[in-house]
Structure 1
Amino acid sequence: ISSMIWGVVFGGFFGNMLTIISLEKINFPALWFNPMDDPMALMIWSMVFGVLHILAGMAARAYMLIHAGQWQDAVYDIFPWYLIIGGLGMMLGGFAGSLGPVLAIAGAAVLVLFGGRSAKNPIMRLLKGIMSLYNITGYFSDILSYTRILALVLATSVIAMVVNQLGFLLGPTPAGYALFAVVALLGHTLNLLLSALSAYVHTSRLHFVEFFGKFYEGGGRMWRPFRLKTNYVDVVKKT
């Protein structure tokens, strides 16, 4: 269902199948844009979706901190990153004028002043605050990780186009259409299966690493492979 929806949005029907079999008389128009014609637009929108996804995870973290009574951690450790990421996004997007730099500088100032508030020594407090800015590299890497969406879209699109080209090697003849039916059935089925696998693997990674990493805290106990400790069973050692 998702492939059908985004196929309509991006103007793709099993790649360029309609264009190939109609000898370029039929073209499937894109409702938004064609990633093959404008891959940079897809890369930008992939990162925009990534920013929204990460900000949602940070909001969940802030909610958990406030619910636990740690409102200072939410205000001083989470909220400044909204200012920094939002300000840098405005600067890169080239809009909002001077508001972007102001927001980014304000967020960085809050982190520097309050990021090391747990330290009693003023110098250590300032140094810890400055070091907290280093986390921006982690946020950048997380956002760039969403460009895998671009790679997946381009890869499946190119494979679909190659399948169509190979299937129509004999041209618009009865034998050519018969060959196209066989090659298209096998090729697009394989491409669809690979796409489904890739979508599952990569979206799982984005959820469990980039998204859950912003707020999820695992419980349990440390695994000790050479230590036996049971709750309901008594283990008697025989010598």
Structure 2
Amino acid sequence: MHVIIVAEPGWPAARHRSLLELADLVETVPPRHRASGYFQDNCVYLRRVRTERVLYLDSDTIFFGPVRPLADRFAEADVAACANRWVFRRGYDLAYAPEIEMPLNGGVILMRHEFCRHWAGLLPERHGSLLTDPLRANLAAWLRSVTPDAYHRHEFAFSEAAWSGGWRVGLLGPLDCRVLTSGPDHEDPRRWLASTMFHTYGGQWARCVQRLRAEPSTPGWLRALLPPEHSPRPGGRA
């Protein structure tokens, strides 16, 4: 396992010793988003990953099962991710970026080394140029209508890369990865538990953990691993 840690000098490595001891290689790298203020610029460091297959995760993702069967199911894909269906509820039109057959969620990505290097090689430049590209003017306007800083441009830069160059794209289904859609109080935790993993979104993390703790069918091994009731929301990517 290759672990890349984006951190300022003096970060508390001892707090994460149990994870780091599992790694074959650990690198600590300086933040790339100091100037831009856009955390996703740090994805440029994915160019340094040396494994054949890469599973990129937001740290607010909870696993309910082993990853190996998931990797086997998508063995023929160069990149696999969940469809980003929420964008259509916010008025997104496929005409904004016709090459993107389906916008992809950037929180959980299974990919081959070759695609990983290709995507990371476009960054961080594409995070900026996407907003000034004349061919993406409607997309940029839509992104800014969702958030003034066009926060979700990262996922569209990733989607562009995935749907270009003849890469084989796989779509993770609800049994592979469940993405929080309606909010933790409006979804059945048993449906979360039926998937391999659950992408919660950081702002909803604590409430999702509460729902899982209260759910009788949550297995004991998972309950023991869930963080304390009032633990802070996770941050970053892995």
Question: What is the TM-score of this pair, normalised by structure 2?
Answer: 0.22
Question: Considering only CA atoms, is the larger Rg found in Structure 1 or Structure 2?
Answer: 1
Question: What is the TM-score of this pair, normalised by structure 1?
Answer: 0.22
Bigger RCO (CA 8 Å, 6+ sep): 2
Structure showing the higher helix proportion among its residues: 1
